[in-house]
């Protein structure tokens, strides 16, 4: 069976684990966490990056930092992972969805302004598949209406927009290091803080509402409860594993792009494009090849194709069921405007195997199998 994903292993994880065992420092914010922070800030050219236990928790931290309260409204696409909405719904915000661009599955920035009310506090663009949203336009709208922007860059490590790392353009950005992402440590994430003024409070909220970070740096002689907060920092074991992966970011991204391009060129050469669509993302998008997907004509045809591929030992998977059509979506959210593309496109989208180490021969076999299916 060609699996949809095999989580990446760099080879240095074990050596770093051994170091953690030797150092006998296991809880968060030790040497490995510091190294991850330094490497990520340098790589992303970010003001400040804090590791978190997940991207979900990084999103929650952003909601706390923006003081989101009951009755506030937050605008985002419905085509996203539950955490994008949950983090703000947890604070009592109403989630307002707008439609997406069918070609990238990203929020359609032209629809945002119509969804803004006097209760709107933030816009949360999601960089689906590591492809950038139209950030210039989104930042312009946010500035005009004095709104926060939180980039859900969960899938976007190694991806850029006009030369800037995704996650470093809005007020906050969030990364995921879940094992389904390009780089991972099982479960973790990071909050990118692009405005210095949130830094001190971010450290406090992340450390159970205490000023322990200052204490560790020797800036105060005891720490205490000073604000709201929770436990959002991963252990040194997670950080050690993650460091081994972050050090290979460029190699992983390069390899994934190579696989992505092999898919793209093979599909193009078969000239089957009236049977299904492939995404027309090119390298100048600065994407990180997180996902390669095709779009079947409709949900039935997609299911038939999934079944066929399974018979041929190929695992393929669809993705998000739009949040506004989910049970919790009907309670905590509403869709602004018409759902012209979100449901339709989500029902067509099918993700094909893509992971570091996937052999080119297998990619060609997958493309050929799909070609023959449609013949
Ligand atoms: C994976 C993902 C998340 C959640 O990441 P975790 O680290 O598992 O919490 C959030 N948003 C998007 C768009 C994702 O793809």
Same domain assignment for residues 369 and 300: yes
Same domain assignment for residues 129 and 239: yes
Q: 372 alpha carbon to ligand 1 midpoint, in Å?
A: 34
Instruction: Tell me which residue has its CA closest to atom 8 in ligand 1.
Output: 178
Give the residue from 199, 215, 246 where a domain finishes: 246
Give the residue from 228, 246, 264 where a domain finishes: 246
DSSP 58-72: HHHHHHHHTT--TT-
* pLDDT for the residue numbered 86: 98
Q: 352 alpha carbon to ligand 1 midpoint, in Å?
A: 19
* pLDDT for the residue numbered 280: 78
Same domain assignment for residues 198 and 340: no
Q: What is the pLDDT of residues 5-37, one digit of tens each?
A: 999 999 999 999 999 999 999 999 999 999 999
Atom of ligand 1 nearest to the CA of 54: 7
5 part of a folded domain: no
Helix (H, G, I), strand (E, B) or coil at 115: helix
Same domain assignment for residues 326 and 207: no
Give the residue from 246, 266, 282 where a domain finishes: 246
119 part of a folded domain: yes
4 part of a folded domain: no
Among 52, 95, 176, say which to mutate for ligand 1: greatest number of ligand atoms within 8 Å of CB. Answer: 176
* pLDDT for the residue numbered 252: 98
- Are 48 and 95 in contact by the 8 Å Cβ rule? The answer is no
Residue range(s) defining the domain that contains residue 284: 249-373
In angstroms, the CA 23 to CA 17 distance is: 10
In angstroms, the CA 11 to CA 15 distance is: 8
Q: What is the pLDDT of residues 86-124, one digit of tens each?
A: 999 999 999 999 999 999 999 999 999 999 999 999 999
Q: How many domains does the chain have?
A: 2
87 part of a folded domain: yes
Q: Is the pLDDT of residue 283 over 80?
A: no
3-state helix, strand, coil in the chain (%, to 5): 45, 15, 40
Q: Is the pLDDT of residue 272 over 90?
A: no
Same domain assignment for residues 125 and 242: yes
Q: 98 alpha carbon to ligand 1 midpoint, in Å?
A: 19
Q: 47 alpha carbon to ligand 1 midpoint, in Å?
A: 22
Q: 176 alpha carbon to ligand 1 midpoint, in Å?
A: 6
User: Which residues line the pocket of ligand 1, CB cutoff 6 A?
Assistant: 54-56, 80-81, 83-84, 126, 152, 154-155, 176, 178, 189
Same domain assignment for residues 321 and 345: yes
Compute how many other C-beta atoms are within 10 angstroms of the C-beta atom of residue 7.
15
Atom of ligand 1 nearest to the CA of 58: 9
Same domain assignment for residues 19 and 52: yes
Q: What is the pLDDT of residues 192-204, one digit of tens each?
A: 999 999 999 999 9
Among 50, 154, 156, say which to mutate for ligand 1: greatest number of ligand atoms within 8 Å of CB. Answer: 154
Q: What is the pLDDT of residues 227-254, one digit of tens each?
A: 999 999 999 999 999 999 999 999 999 9
* pLDDT for the residue numbered 282: 65
pTM here?
Answer: 0.97
Q: How far is CA 340 from CA 102, 299, 335, 337, 349, in A?
A: 9, 16, 11, 9, 15
Q: Which secondary structure element, helix H or strand E, spans residue 88, and what is its range? A: helix 82-89
Q: What is the pLDDT of residues 166-210, one digit of tens each?
A: 999 999 999 999 999 999 999 999 999 999 999 999 999 999 999
Q: 81 alpha carbon to ligand 1 midpoint, in Å?
A: 6
* Of the candidates 101, 58, 95, 89, the residue with the CA atom closest to the CA atom of residue 76: 95
In angstroms, the CA 252 to CA 241 distance is: 15
What is the CATH number for 357? 3.90.1150.10
Instruction: Tell me which residue has its CA closest to atom 5 in ligand 1.
Output: 55
Q: Dihedral angle at the C-alpha atoms of 98, 99, 104, 105, nearest 10 degrees? A: 80
Same domain assignment for residues 136 and 263: no
| Two tokens, residue 52 | 């978190």
198 part of a folded domain: yes
* Of the candidates 366, 374, 3, the residue with the CA atom closest to the CA atom of residue 179: 3
Cα-to-chain-centroid distance, residue 270: 32
* Residues in Cβ contact with 153 at an 8 Å cutoff, skipping those fewer than 6 apart: 127, 159, 166, 167, 173, 174, 175, 192
| Two tokens, residue 61 | 């931290």
Same domain assignment for residues 32 and 170: yes
| Two tokens, residue 185 | 């440590």
Q: Is the pLDDT of residue 269 over 70?
A: yes
What is the CATH number for 153? 3.40.640.10
Q: How far is CA 113 from CA 140, 288, 348, 362, in A?
A: 11, 29, 28, 45
How does residue 285 score in pLDDT terms, banded at 50, 70 and 90?
A: confident
Helix (H, G, I), strand (E, B) or coil at 152: strand
Same domain assignment for residues 207 and 282: no
Instruction: Tell me which residue has its CA closest to atom 14 in ligand 1.
Output: 154
Q: How far is CA 362 from CA 118, 336, 355, in A?
A: 53, 42, 12
Same domain assignment for residues 150 and 240: yes
3 part of a folded domain: no
236 part of a folded domain: yes
Same domain assignment for residues 286 and 155: no
1 part of a folded domain: no
């Amino acid at each position: 069976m060609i699996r949809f994903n095999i989580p990446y292993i760099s080879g240095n994880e074990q050596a770093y684990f051994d170091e953690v065992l030797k150092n006998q420092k296991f809880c968060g914010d030790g040497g490995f966490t510091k190294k991850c922070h330094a490497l990520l800030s340098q790589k992303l050219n970010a003001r400040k990056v804090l590791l978190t236990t997940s991207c979900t928790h990084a999103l929650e931290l952003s909601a706390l930092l923006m003081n989101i309260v009951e009755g506030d409204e937050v605008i985002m696409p419905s085509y996203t992972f539950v955490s994008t909405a949950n983090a703000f719904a947890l604070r009592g915000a109403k989630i307002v969805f707008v439609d997406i661009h069918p070609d990238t599955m990203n929020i359609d920035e032209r629809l945002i302004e119509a969804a803004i009310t006097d209760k709107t506090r933030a816009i949360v663009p999601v960089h689906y598949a590591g492809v950038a949203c139209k950030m210039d336009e989104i930042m312009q709208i946010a500035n005009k209406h004095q709104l926060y922007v939180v980039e859900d860059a969960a899938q976007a490590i190694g991806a850029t927009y006009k030369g800037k790392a995704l996650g470093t353009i809005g007020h906050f950005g969030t990364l995921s290091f879940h094992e389904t992402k390009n780089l991972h440590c099982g479960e973790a994430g990071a909050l990118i803080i692009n405005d210095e003024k949130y830094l001190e409070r971010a450290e406090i909220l992340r450390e159970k509402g205490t000023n322990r970070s200052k204490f560790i740096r020797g800036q105060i002689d005891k720490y205490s409860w000073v604000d709201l907060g929770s436990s959002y920092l991963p252990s040194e074991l997670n950080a050690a594993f993650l460091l081994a992966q972050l050090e290979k970011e460029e190699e992983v991204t390069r390899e994934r792009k190579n696989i992505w391009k092999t898919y793209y060129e093979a599909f193009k050469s078969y000239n089957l494009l009236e049977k299904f669509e492939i995404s027309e993302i090119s390298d100048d998008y600065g994407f990180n090849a997180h996902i390669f997907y095709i779009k079947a004509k409709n949900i039935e045809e997609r299911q038939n194709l999934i079944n066929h591929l399974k018979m041929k030992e190929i695992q393929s998977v669809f993705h998000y069921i739009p949040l506004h059509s989910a049970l919790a979506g009907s309670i905590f959210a509403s869709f602004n405007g018409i759902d012209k593309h979100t449901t339709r496109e989500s029902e067509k989208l099918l993700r094909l195997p893509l992971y570091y180490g996937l052999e080119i021969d297998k990619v060609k076999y997958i493309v050929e199998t799909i070609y023959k299916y449609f013949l």
